A = this chain, B = another copy of it.
């Protein structure tokens, strides 16, 4: 039963965004600098939503052991101090691609489709069962090499980007499999009924749709910029 469930989760993740034309163009080195910059600045809106998304999952979770581990995600993104953590690393990437920090931080500059998608994900974390919230984070489990491929693509095809700005991706190569492994353990332990498991699979589909919709918005806005 467990193998079947994991296979179903994997199947749900097959629409994962690495297959998206914009993502493929990025990995193939086909994006113009302003398309790369648009990806990095719009993705900031997603990155900045993560600590609150994870806190919403903790707020819904009655299991101290799960909360304790999940707390590490918030600490990972917010960092131990100002200028540290995943969000600071993403802002360093923003600097490295030549974005103006004030523009990045201005939510008015985010593409509407990106905002709608991220806001839907945040709302889901608040409103869904905490186990489904955990399951929605599993995308990284089924795309373990995406970060590595992205780093290689950035180094190879976009030499104008200072490699020091890639620290976010480099750290994710270590952190993402660890987080995803824990999330899968939690889902397998706490999603026991068919209904709970269906909700987890649907949560993963939703998350893929969110990531996909973000790239749709970018693709349509920057289609000619290759």
* Number of chain A interface residues as a range: 20 to 34
Residues of B within 8 A of A59 (CB): 52-53, 55-56, 58-59, 125-126
Identify the closest chain B residue to A126 (Cβ).
Answer: B59
Chain A at the B interface: mostly helix, strand, loop or mixed?
A: helix
Flag if A87 contacts B67 (CB, 8 Å).
Answer: no
Flag if A71 contacts B78 (CB, 8 Å).
Answer: yes
A159 within 8 A of partner (CB): no
A64-B51, A64-B87, A87-B64 known; A58 vs B74 contact (CB < 8 Å):
yes
Residues of B within 8 A of A126 (CB): 59, 126
A59–B67 Cα distance when bound, in Å, is: 14
In the complex, given contacts A52-B58, A58-B58, A71-B71, what are 7 additional A-B residue pairs having Cβ atoms less than 8 angstroms apart? Answer: A52-B59, A55-B58, A56-B56, A56-B59, A59-B126, A64-B78, A67-B74
